[in-house]
């Protein structure tokens, strides 16, 4: 170019490795809001039970867990009432697994719209993470009701100061599910194999996480597999939650710090991969 020009937009073949354009993302914050609103509102349109669906799933899962794992299999729950134990695990795990499976489908789900108009692609998985968070809070309300009911009955649930770590726990879950989700979604644009893997991997992952059993039971019975459970960044989230709200569980700052660090690394990697793929995925999908 001979003279300097104030171009506001440059479309080029390759972007930088980590070109997360936060300013642009912020400019589209209204779109994020619309997406969240859309997902919440359309979730129960044309259903009879409407928003009640948010509660039905965790209630029934808890009942089934109480029957199968608590009753039939007889897995102890660290002295916590079974309903509370399973419900706390289910609430957190559902948030994680729902967000992970849905974000991992970002590109395939949105290919029609991504193929026509540009906006920061990250808005789509981000909105899923946020919508999931709202759903999680609604289900947390259910947990709170059951919690207070047991509390009134005089059951020994000892909430303590560590319950205040709740937001950190949610941050870890959000980072992990968003990070893993966008990595998988980026790879499925070209190789669909991962799509089949994900649903079943998430199922197995739950068993490697103290959702239906307390960590202490695992420690006692399968000492040699403990490394696997401890390497799992979701483990510390579950245990810290139960420790903070129910007074039982295995809490260490080290394992929580580890989870937080891993969650940020995963998110960071996710954004790099996502950025690389979003620029040209329409050609390969």
- DSSP assignment of 117-181: --S-TTHHHHHHHHHHHHHHHHHHHHHHHHHHHHHHTT------GGGGGHHHHHHHHHHHHHHHH
Q: 117 or 164, CB closer to other proteins?
A: 117
Question: CB 235: neighbour CB atoms within 10 A?
Answer: 24
* Interatomic CA distance for residues 203 and 137, integer angstroms: 22
Q: 72 or 112, CB closer to other proteins?
A: 112
Q: Which stretch binds other proteins (CB under 8 A): 31-39, 49-57, 62-70, 204-212?
A: 31-39
Q: What is the DSSP letter of 21?
A: -
18, 34, 56, 134: residue in contact with other proteins (rule CB under 8 A): 34
Residues 91-110: x where in contact with other proteins by CB under 8 A, - otherwise, as a string = --------------------
The three-state (H, E, C) secondary structure of 201-235, written as one string: HHHHHHHCCCCCCCHHHHHHHCHHHHHHHHHCHHH
57, 76, 190, 226: residue in contact with other proteins (rule CB under 8 A): 190
In sequence order, the 6+-apart residues with CB closer than 8 A to the CB of 122 are 20, 25, 182, 271, 274, 278
Please report whether residue 113 would count as binding other proteins according to CB under 8 A. yes
Please report whether residue 118 would count as binding other proteins according to CB under 8 A. yes
46, 154, 161, 227: residue in contact with other proteins (rule CB under 8 A): 46
Please report whether residue 48 would count as binding other proteins according to CB under 8 A. no
Start-to-end Cα distance in the chain = 36
7, 72, 74, 152: residue in contact with other proteins (rule CB under 8 A): 7
- Using DSSP, state whether 110 is helix, strand or coil: coil
Rounded to a whole number of angstroms, the minimum distance from the CB of residue 7 to other proteins is: 4
Q: 223 or 283, CB closer to other proteins?
A: 283
Q: 177 or 275, CB closer to other proteins?
A: 275
Please report whether residue 13 would count as binding other proteins according to CB under 8 A. yes
- Pick out residues in 266-285 that bind other proteins (CB under 8 A): 279-280, 282-284
Please report whether residue 18 would count as binding other proteins according to CB under 8 A. no
At 83, phi and psi to the nearest 5? Answer: -55, -45
- Among candidates 118, 131, 122, which has minimal Cα distance to 38? 131
Q: Site residues (CB under 8 A) for other proteins?
A: 3-14, 27-28, 30-31, 33-35, 37-38, 41-42, 45-46, 112-119, 190-191, 279-280, 282-284
């Amino acid at each position: 170019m001979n003279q300097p020009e104030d171009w506001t937009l440059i479309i080029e073949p390759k972007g930088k490795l980590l070109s997360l354009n936060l300013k642009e993302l912020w400019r589209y914050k209204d779109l994020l809001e619309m997406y969240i609103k859309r997902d919440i509102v359309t979730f129960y349109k044309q259903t009879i039970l409407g928003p009640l669906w948010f509660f039905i799933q965790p209630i029934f899962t808890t009942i089934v867990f109480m029957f199968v794992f608590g009753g039939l299999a007889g897995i102890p729950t660290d002295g916590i009432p079974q309903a509370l134990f399973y419900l706390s695990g289910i609430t957190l795990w559902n948030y994680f697994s729902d967000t992970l499976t849905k974000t991992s489908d970002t590109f395939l789900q949105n290919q029609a719209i991504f193929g026509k108009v540009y906006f920061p692609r990250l808005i789509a998985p981000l909105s899923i993470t946020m919508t999931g968070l709202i759903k999680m809070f609604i289900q947390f309300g259910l947990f709170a009701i059951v919690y207070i009911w047991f509390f009134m009955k005089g059951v020994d649930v000892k909430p303590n100061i560590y319950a205040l770590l709740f937001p950190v726990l949610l941050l870890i879950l959000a980072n992990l599910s968003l990070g893993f989700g966008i990595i998988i979604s980026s790879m499925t644009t070209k190789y669909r194999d991962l799509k089949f893997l994900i649903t079943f991997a998430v199922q197995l992952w739950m068993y490697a996480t103290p959702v239906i059993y307390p960590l202490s039971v695992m420690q006692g019975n399968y000492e040699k597999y403990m490394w696997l459970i401890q390497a799992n960044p979701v483990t510390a989230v579950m245990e810290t939650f139960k420790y903070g709200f129910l007074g039982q569980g295995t809490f260490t700052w080290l394992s929580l710090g580890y989870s937080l660090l891993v969650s940020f690394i995963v998110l960071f990697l996710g954004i790099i991969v996502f950025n690389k793929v979003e620029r040209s995925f329409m050609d390969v999908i």
